[in-house]
Amino acid sequence: MAQDRPTASELLAAIADFLREEAMPALDKTEPRLGFQMRVAVNSLAILEREARLGPAADAGEQARLAKLLGHEGTLENLNRELARQLRAGARDEGDAALMAHLDATIADKIAIANPKWK
Amino acid sequence: MIVHTPTEAENVAAVLARVAGRHFGGTATVDRLYRESGGASRQTWSFDAIVDGARHELILRRDPPTLGTPRAKAETDRSVSIDRATEFRVLRAAFQAGVRAPEVLFELTLDDDLGEGFVMRRIGGTAIARKLLRDPPYDSARKKIAHQLGDILARLHAVPAAGLPPLLRREAADHIAGQRRALDLLDRPQPVFELALSWLDRRKPAPTTQPVLVHGDYRTGNYLADKTGVTAILDWESAHLGDPIEDLGWLCVKSWRFGAVDKPAGGFGSREELWSAYESAGGLKVDPARAHWWEVFGTVRWGIICHNQAWRHLSGALKSMELASIGRRAVETEVDLLQLLKSDV
């Protein structure tokens, strides 16, 4: 059965907002070292919030593209293992347009979760 | 994070008073002792030693003895980094050759019971990239740093081999093999890093005919600078012998621009500005394709370091939220790698 609202993403956002707006400024005044750690924690919570919201679709898209690229179904982990083996062996390289389109899409989805400001 | 108990600081202070007295010849008292943040397994302590009314501003670099067990050494995955005794000798050779490096004074002995370590003179300046890149006191320094880094690096690569301790020689092929081993140990499929390593393998430069002293971690964050610019190159623990262009490529990795992405030379200038200063100070003529190769390699290296840092937490070797969170930074280098592999040089 589905959980009630707030969703995982909404709850994580609420926690991150509280820590950023109330806990962090208080810590910066009294315990700067902990203030820095709190900044790391808030940043990690923001990653989790985005992952809760965007992660399932990103994983499904990656898995579907991998199955098409490799020509068979499999778990995300196993398909990635197979692709990684092919890339180490040099069986595919950056000249493969379908490969590059897949990696571009996968990494775009990953960075949108881990650090959307990265450029 | 290791908690600094008062007992540890008191113990360090007592030993430092004794060893400073021994070195300077007199009775020493220790003042303003504190442990600098960062470096959980490799500690840096700042202190003053007062001997016969003279104040000596000093730094202790130290590996606590508990980390000396083979297991702990393996867990911190520092198979490629040098020990403190070797670092002392590399720093001494660099300083004597005129490289802007801290002046090392003396080593700890076994009887001092503080672990492996040495004491060097403290140098002014900050290593914090965010400050150097944005704060007003460094406005004029910012225009000089790219040039200075090129100039200092040429001198560093010219340190005479005769004065150096034995160091591992590591060429392009050794580095590629090392990163593939690291990926295998992490045991998670990494298609982008595999693609980049195969790209690197196919284009790797021939081994150098004359390997030089390579700093190995020459980047923003690892040097001190004040309003006049760079005052000292720090963090020599990755020193080895190899291709001088390795250091130039590593310095230009996008992660070391700390947001100043349009200034590849550590966030302070163009590649061309860096290379021209390097060549003017006696460095090799820089082949852009070779520098690009080392920049791509450096990007892979930092990405895998991110995973290794997270692994230190995940394996239980050193519980730390900060280390854990670094694992999620690896994807930044995957973004950069996909861009780099598409840009022809």
The set of residues, in sequence order, having a beta carbon less than 8 Å from that of A20 and lying 6+ positions away, is: A42
B49 or B4, higher pLDDT: B49
Q: Angle at Cα B136 formed by Cα B155 and Cα B336, nearest 5°?
A: 60
Q: Which residue type, as a one-letter code, is found at position B252? A: C
Confidence of residue B242 (pLDDT cuts 50, 70, 90): very high
Answer whether residue A56 is part of any domain: yes
Q: Which residues contact B197 (CB under 8 A, 6 or more apart)?
A: A88, B176, B179, B180, B183, B300
Q: For residue B308, which of B71, B76, B43, B40 has the smallest C-alpha distance?
A: B76
Over residues B74-83, the mean pLDDT reads: 62
A91 and chain B in contact, CB less than 8 A:
no
Mean pLDDT score, B154-171: 96
Q: Is A81 on the interface with B (CB under 8 A)?
A: yes
Rounded alpha-carbon distances, angstroms, from residue A72 to A78, A79, A82:
11, 9, 11
Please tell me which residue of chain A has the smallest CA distance to B331.
Answer: A111
Query: In angstroms, what separates the C-alpha of A86 from chain B's closest C-alpha?
Result: 9
A119 lies in some domain: no
> DSSP letter string over B202-232?
HTPPPPPSS-EEE-S--STTSEEEETTEEEE
pLDDT at B68 over 70: no
Question: Do residues B198 and A93 lie in contact, with contact meaning Cβ atoms separated by under 8 Å?
Answer: yes
Distance, CA of B220 to CA of B225 (rounded, Å): 10
Phi-psi sector, B122: left (phi>0), alpha (psi -120 to 50), beta: beta
How far apart (Å, rounded) are the C-alpha atoms in residues B4 and B258?
30
Question: Which range, of A109-118, B107-116, B178-187, B269-278, averages the lowest pLDDT?
Answer: B107-116
| Strand arrangement of the beta sheet that strand B240-242 belongs to | B169-170, B240-242, B212-214
What pLDDT is recorded for position B61? 94
What's the pLDDT score for residue B40? Answer: 56
Nearest-Cα residue of chain A relative to residue B340: A94
Mean pLDDT to the nearest integer, B159-178: 96
Does residue A99 belong to any structural domain of this protein?
A: yes
Cβ neighbours of B262 (radius 10 Å): 7
Q: Which residue pairs, CB below 8 angstroms and at least 24 apart, start in B268-272?
A: B268/B133, B268/B142, B268/B145, B268/B146, B268/B149, B268/B220, B269/B145, B269/B146, B269/B147, B270/B146
Inside any domain, residue A1: no
Residue B60 parent element (H or E) = strand B54-63
Optimal mutation site among B193, B194, B302, B319, interface A, most CBs of chain A within 10 A: B194
Average pLDDT over residues B289-295: 97
- Say if the Cβ atoms of B329 and A93 lie within 8 Å: no
From the CA of A1, how many Å to the nearest CA of chain B? 31
pLDDT reported for residue B1: 57
Hunting for tokens 């999620």 — which residue is that?
A: B328
Residues of chain B found within 8 Å of residue A110, distances taken between Cβ atoms: 331, 334
Is some CB atom of chain B closer than 8 A to the CB atom of A39?
no
Q: Would you state the pLDDT for residue A2? A: 84
Residue B63: the pLDDT is 87
| A118 and B CB contact within 8 Å | yes
Residue B3 has pLDDT above 70, yes or no: no
Q: Is B47 helix (H, G, I), strand (E, B) or coil?
A: strand
- Structural domains in chain A (count): 1
Please, what is the end-to-end C-alpha distance for chain B in angstroms? 43
Q: Per-residue pLDDT for B69 more than 50?
A: no
In which residue ranges of chain B is CATH 3.90.1200.10 found?
129-342
Cβ–Cβ below 8 Å for A94 and B342: yes
Integer Cα distance of B154 and B280 in angstroms: 9
Instruction: Tell me which chain B residues have a C-beta less than 8 angstroms from the C-beta of A66.
Output: none
Residue B43 near residue B34, CB atoms below 8 Å: no
Find out whether B214 and B116 touch, Cβ atoms under 8 Å: no
Q: Please identify which residue in the block is written with the tokens 């083996």.
A: A85
Mean pLDDT of B319-330: 95
By the CB < 8 Å criterion, does A47 face chain B? yes
- pLDDT tens-digit series, residues B187-240: 999 999 999 999 999 999 999 999 999 999 999 999 999 999 999 999 999 999
Strands B223-226 and B229-233: antiparallel
Say which CATH superfamily domain B6-121 falls into.
Phosphorylase Kinase; domain 1 (3.30.200.20)
A100 and B189: CB-CB below 8 Å? no
| Option in B201, B261, B321 nearest A40 (CB) | B321
Structure token digits, residue B149: 């880094």
Q: How far is CA B15 from CA A16, A80, B36, B49, B112, in A?
A: 44, 53, 18, 11, 7
Per-residue pLDDT tens, chain A, 119 aa: give them: 689 999 999 999 999 999 999 999 999 899 888 888 999 999 999 999 999 999 999 999 999 999 999 999 999 999 999 999 999 999 999 999 999 999 999 999 999 999 999 98
Sign of CA dihedral B88, B249, B80, B73: positive
Structural domain of A73 = 8-114
**Residue B344 in this model has a pLDDT that exceeds 80:** no
| Distance to chain A for B190, nearest Cα, Å | 6
Specify if A3 maps to a domain: no
8 A C-beta contact, residue B227 and residue B141: yes
The class (CATH top level) of B129-342 is alpha beta
- Looking at every residue in chain B, the average pLDDT score rounds to 92
Whole-angstrom CA distances from B118 to B65, B103, B307 are 14, 11, 30
d(CA B258, CA B130): 7
The model's confidence at residue B5, banded by pLDDT at 50, 70 and 90, is low
| Residue B275: count of CB within 10 angstroms of its CB | 23
What is residue A70's predicted lDDT score, i.e. its pLDDT? Answer: 98
Distance from C-alpha of A37 to C-alpha of A15, rounded to nearest angstrom: 15
CA–CA min distance B241, chain A (Å): 27
List of chain A residues whose C-beta atoms are within 8 Å of the C-beta of residue B324: 44
Structure-token pair, residue A34: 């902990």
